[in-house]
Structure 1
Amino acid sequence: MLQMHYLNAAIHESLRLYPPVQFDSKFAQEDDILPDGTFVPRGTRATYHQYAMGRMEQVWGPDCLDFKPERWLKKGAFVPENPFKFTVFHAGPRICLGKELALVEMKTVALAIIRGFNTVAEDPDQVPRFIPGFTATVRGGLPVVMQEKERSLKIHHQPTSM
């Protein structure tokens, strides 16, 4: 089976920096105590901000703002992070049921673009404007410049016999 380690790393790195859902909240059904000893009373709303967490130096290191797919590779092989560190798909018993399907869809789209275009780049004349909200949005979309690959058709003509 084809693993596509670098593509997998690039997708995870993109999701770390630009999670589709920027923040999420959970409510404590019962009194609880967090691993650091913090008491959480029943009914407390705990919100975590995945967009900010993906940019935290204490979590991802001094290069946390850099797009660096290599951080997901060990000896050339993709190695996922702990889901409690990389919270894009949540973690624990409530991990996203659609995680694997979403990853397959992203890889499929990426491969279709790679096969069909020589270059794909942000439009240098346009500056993306991020819009804060529940889901990640770029005002006006993300303008890109794409150069389609030339396709040469090979036609094999076989004479018909009469």
Structure 2
Amino acid sequence: MRLYPPVPVNSVQARAADVLPDGTAVGAGWFVSYNAYAMGRMESVWGEDARAYRPERWLDPDTAEGTFRPESPFRYIVFHAGPRICLGKEMAYIQMKSIVACVVEELEVAVDGGYTPRQVASLTLRMADGLPVMVKARS
């Protein structure tokens, strides 16, 4: 979701003058937009391997058992942050974990390593033609 966020760009309008966390002044009525798609690929935030899919980046390196370490919602902006954070965030995590657990228990799923997703521009980010995978039952 960091690399392919469901809502890749978001805009809001300031009801009153305010100051962003980095010190940028925002006037009343101004529109502020941010690009979660680009932010998920920023080397200044995620390191030189920002474009790499590395699930272990979410694990605490100080624990031998690899304890999950959540990122700040202001850094991992997929569900937005602050008082208007996505209400469905926790439900989305529960659904992802339960579906992955069910699929991995019963099936072997392999994605073609040479496949490059092609995105379709819309309100929510989606892949053109889906994601081709090979699926077979576990023995």
The answer to whether TM tops 0.5 is yes
Does residue 35 of structure 2 align to residue 49 of structure 1?
Answer: yes
Q: Residue by residue, what CA displacement relative to the aligned partner does 1:9-39 show, whole Å, maximum 9, x if unpaired?
A: xxxxxx1111111111111000112233322
Q: In the TM superposition, what is the alpha-carbon distance from 1:136 to its structure 2 partner?
A: 1.4
Between the aligned partners of 2:44 and 2:52, the Cα distance in structure 1 is 14
Between the aligned partners of 2:87 and 2:114, the Cα distance in structure 1 is 39
Q: In the TM superposition, what is the alpha-carbon distance from 1:125 to its structure 2 partner?
A: 7.6
- Equivalent AA in structure 1 for residue 39 of structure 2: M
Percent of residue pairs bearing the same amino acid type: 48
Is 1:22–1:133's contact at 8 Å kept on the other side of the alignment?
no
The aligned length equals 135
Aligned to 1:39: 25
TM-align CA RMSD: 1.6
Residue ranges of structure 1 left out of the alignment (5+ in a row):
1-14, 151-162
Between the aligned partners of 1:120 and 1:25, the Cα distance in structure 2 is 36
Q: Against the structure 1 CA distance between its residues 18 and 126, is the aligned structure 2 distance closer, same or farther, given a 3 Å change threshold?
A: closer
* Pairs within 5 Å for 1:45-124: 45-74=31-60, 75=63, 76-117=66-107, 119-123=108-112
Between the aligned partners of 2:70 and 2:113, the Cα distance in structure 1 is 32
Q: TM-score, normalised by structure 2?
A: 0.89
Between the aligned partners of 1:37 and 1:57, the Cα distance in structure 2 is 22
Q: Matched residue of 1:20: which SS?
A: coil
Match of 1:138 among 102, 127, 130: 127
Q: Matched residue of 2:34: which SS?
A: strand
Residue ranges of structure 2 left out of the alignment (5+ in a row):
none
Between the aligned partners of 1:36 and 1:147, the Cα distance in structure 2 is 49
Between the aligned partners of 1:124 and 1:141, the Cα distance in structure 2 is 15
Q: In the TM superposition, what is the alpha-carbon distance from 1:89 to its structure 2 partner?
A: 1.0
Between the aligned partners of 2:119 and 2:81, the Cα distance in structure 1 is 26
121-130 vs 43-52, which deviates more? 121-130
- Equivalent AA in structure 2 for residue 81 of structure 1: E
Does residue 14 of structure 2 align to residue 28 of structure 1?
Answer: yes
